[in-house]
């Protein structure tokens, strides 16, 4: 089976543009949401962790006659960084694929058009346009695929990217996720009563829901043999295992017993050949919603053995908010950096940890306790995915 390495990273988020800004933001452990700059956001809690306008460099209005929406703009910028970081040149374009996970795609474009009085003839923007825009920008002639199973989308997408490489369908996959503000997504969560009025507070006793964030995390994945043959400048981590499952329980709520999220975790660990003592850090789904955090905490204790209080969790959404379809890819970028730098950044402080969430959230930087990292992502519809990364070169 072909080993799959992460050889390039690109990220844009509420913390800024680029991996260095991302890491500096994680290390600072401070982040504050703000009101979305949309006069038509007529809802009770229009708060979000938005990407600063200054962080997004100028980009073309579109490719191939299609307009570039918010998610596509974030994805193209993060892909540009990842490809540059990987030193990816001279690879036959038909051997390069693109897989992008996104929940809402460029649906914000339709809201802009409607606010301006309607669309022009021919204007359209389906969810799959995000992968198409990245493929068009880069000239990738392998499979261009968008995955859109809600907030687990980019986790499933990264797993699909690994399969494309292992099957020999591609040597390189530009893969990750992107999510941008859309009125419909924020309004739906307002109607569900699932928005925290203060900030995203996973595992906090006083949490009252989640808060959305914008962002994109894009990686260059390639077979180890291909990376060696072209003398790739670095490998951040190996994608060692993935596990999928579905609760088949409820449209929006996780199955309270956590049976299927445990199955996804165990499947990923088994494929990686990693025991629970090997896991040195967990980047949980951790949305800040009451049931999700409680169920995930309990299952982490069950799956990882003697109690997760000995394994550091890194609660990324406390800084970025819930970035929807991009959440798993941003968590994977964070996990790859944690393994590469051998440092778990400090978690954003909690007011009071929920006693039902018996997890270890260190408030200071520390070394990961093993050579593997576990990333979880869950979604409406009961879609669950876990990924296991391993230190490169191990």
pLDDT in tens, 280-313: 999 999 999 999 999 999 999 999 986 677 899 9
Q: How large is the average pLDDT for residues 225-236? A: 96
pLDDT grade for 154, boundaries at 50, 70 and 90:
very high
What's the CA gap between 387 and 220, in Å, rounded?
A: 16
Structural domain contains residue 163: yes
What's the CA gap between 101 and 114, in Å, rounded?
A: 25
> Is pLDDT at 17 greater than 90 in this prediction?
yes
Average pLDDT value over all residues in the chain = 93
Do 277 and 202 share a domain, yes or no?
A: no
Structural domain contains residue 107: yes
The whole-number pLDDT of residue 221 equals 98
The whole-number pLDDT of residue 122 equals 62
What does the pLDDT look like over 45-66, one tens digit per residue? 999 999 998 999 888 887 777 7
> Is pLDDT at 139 greater than 80 in this prediction?
yes
Do 176 and 54 share a domain, yes or no?
A: yes
Q: Which two tokens stand for residue 141?
A: 């002639």
What's the CA gap between 197 and 75, in Å, rounded?
A: 28
What's the CA gap between 117 and 80, in Å, rounded?
A: 33
Do 381 and 297 share a domain, yes or no?
A: yes
What's the CA gap between 393 and 3, in Å, rounded?
A: 11
Final residue of a domain: which of 230, 252, 269? 230
Do 192 and 314 share a domain, yes or no?
A: no
What's the CA gap between 285 and 317, in Å, rounded?
A: 8
CB atoms within 10 A of CB 44: 11
pLDDT grade for 124, boundaries at 50, 70 and 90:
low
**Contact present, 335 and 237 (Cβ < 8 Å):** yes
pLDDT grade for 116, boundaries at 50, 70 and 90:
confident
pLDDT over 70 percentage in the chain: 96
Do 124 and 46 share a domain, yes or no?
A: yes
Per the structure, the complete domain to which residue 281 belongs is given by 241-391
Do 171 and 91 share a domain, yes or no?
A: yes
Q: Which two tokens stand for residue 257?
A: 């017993």
**Contact present, 219 and 10 (Cβ < 8 Å):** yes
pTM of the entire predicted model: 0.96
> Is pLDDT at 138 greater than 80 in this prediction?
yes
Do 246 and 291 share a domain, yes or no?
A: yes
Structural domain contains residue 235: no
Q: Euclidean distance between the first and final Cα of the chain, in Å?
A: 16
CA distances (Å), 259 to each of 15, 165, 295, 300, 376, in order? 34, 30, 10, 11, 14
**Contact present, 88 and 220 (Cβ < 8 Å):** yes
Final residue of a domain: which of 174, 199, 230? 230
Residue with tokens 């100028």: 58
Q: How large is the average pLDDT for residues 198-221? A: 97
Q: Which of 75-84, 129-138, 194-203, 221-230 has the lowest mean pLDDT?
A: 129-138
Residue 261 main-chain phi, psi, to 5 deg: -70, -30
Nearest to 108 by CA among 158, 50, 176, 160: 50
pLDDT grade for 252, boundaries at 50, 70 and 90:
confident
Kindly compute the dihedral angle of the four CA atoms of residues 116, 119, 123, 125, in this order, to the nearest 10 degrees. 70
**Contact present, 339 and 390 (Cβ < 8 Å):** yes
What does the pLDDT look like over 158-175, one tens digit per residue? 999 999 999 999 999 999
Structural domain contains residue 217: yes
What does the pLDDT look like over 18-27, one tens digit per residue? 999 999 999 9
Residue 191 main-chain phi, psi, to 5 deg: -65, -30
* CATH number for position 128: 3.40.47.10
Do 72 and 92 share a domain, yes or no?
A: yes
Nearest to 350 by CA among 363, 364, 336: 363
Q: How large is the average pLDDT for residues 256-269? A: 97
Final residue of a domain: which of 185, 201, 230? 230
Do 255 and 181 share a domain, yes or no?
A: no
> Is pLDDT at 150 greater than 80 in this prediction?
yes
> Is pLDDT at 127 greater than 80 in this prediction?
no
Structural domain contains residue 178: yes
Residue with tokens 């040195």: 280
Structural domain total, the chain: 2
Do 162 and 266 share a domain, yes or no?
A: no
Q: How large is the average pLDDT for residues 85-95? A: 94
The whole-number pLDDT of residue 207 equals 97
Do 222 and 192 share a domain, yes or no?
A: yes
pLDDT grade for 125, boundaries at 50, 70 and 90:
low
161 contacts: CB under 8 Å, gap ≥ 6: 4, 97, 99, 173, 175, 221
Structural domain contains residue 128: yes
Do 256 and 224 share a domain, yes or no?
A: no
Which residues are known to be catalytic? 151, 285, 322
311 contacts: CB under 8 Å, gap ≥ 6: 279, 280, 281, 282, 300, 304, 360, 369, 370
Q: Which of 121-125, 158-162, 225-229 has the lowest mean pLDDT?
A: 121-125
The whole-number pLDDT of residue 121 equals 62
Q: How large is the average pLDDT for residues 195-211? A: 97
Structural domain contains residue 92: yes
> Is pLDDT at 137 greater than 60 in this prediction?
yes
> Is pLDDT at 369 greater than 70 in this prediction?
yes
Structural domain contains residue 236: no
């Amino acid at each position: 089976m072909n080993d799959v390495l992460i050889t390039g990273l690109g990220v844009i988020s509420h913390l800024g543009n680029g991996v260095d800004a991302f890491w500096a933001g994680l290390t600072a452990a401070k982040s504050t949401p703000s009101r979305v700059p949309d006069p038509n956001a007529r809802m009770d809690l229009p708060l979000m962790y938005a990407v600063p306008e200054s962080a997004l460099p100028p980009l073309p209005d579109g490719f191939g006659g299609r307009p570039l929406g918010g998610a596509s703009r974030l994805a193209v910028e993060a892909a540009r960084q990842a490809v540059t970081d990987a030193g990816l040149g001279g690879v036959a374009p038909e051997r390069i694929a693109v897989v992008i996970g996104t929940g809402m795609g460029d649906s914000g474009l339709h809201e802009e058009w409607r606010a301006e009085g309607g669309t022009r003839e021919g204007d359209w923007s389906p969810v799959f346009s995000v992968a198409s825009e990245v493929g068009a920008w880069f000239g990738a002639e392998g499979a261009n695929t968008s995955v859109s199973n809600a907030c687990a989308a980019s986790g499933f997408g990264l797993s699909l990217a690994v399969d494309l490489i292992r099957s020999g369908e591609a040597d390189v996959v530009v893969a990750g996720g992107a999510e941008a503000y859309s009125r419909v997504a924020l309004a739906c969560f307002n109607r569900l009563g699932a928005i925290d009025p203060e900030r995203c507070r996973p595992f906090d006793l006083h949490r009252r829901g989640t808060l959305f964030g914008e962002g994109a995390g894009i990686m260059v994945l390639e077979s180890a043999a291909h990376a060696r043959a072209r003398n790739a400048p670095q490998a951040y981590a190996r994608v060692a295992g993935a596990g999928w499952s579905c609760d088949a329980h409820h449209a929006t709520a996780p199955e309270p017993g956590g049976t299927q999220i445990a199955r996804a975790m165990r499947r990923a660990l088994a494929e990686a050949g990693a025991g629970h003592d090997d896991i040195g850090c967990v980047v949980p789904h951790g949305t800040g919603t009451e049931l999700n955090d409680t169920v995930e905490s309990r299952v982490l204790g069950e799956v990882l053995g003697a109690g997760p209080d000995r394994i550091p969790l890194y609660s990324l959404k406390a800084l970025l908010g819930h970035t929807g379809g991009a959440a798993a890819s941003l968590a994977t970028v964070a996990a790859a950096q944690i393994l590469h730098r051998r440092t778990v950044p400090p978690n954003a402080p909690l007011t009071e940890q929920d006693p039902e969430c018996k997890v270890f959230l260190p408030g200071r930087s520390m070394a990961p306790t093993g050579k593997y990292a576990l990333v979880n992502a869950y979604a409406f519809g009961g879609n669950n995915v876990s990924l296991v990364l391993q230190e490169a070169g191990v």
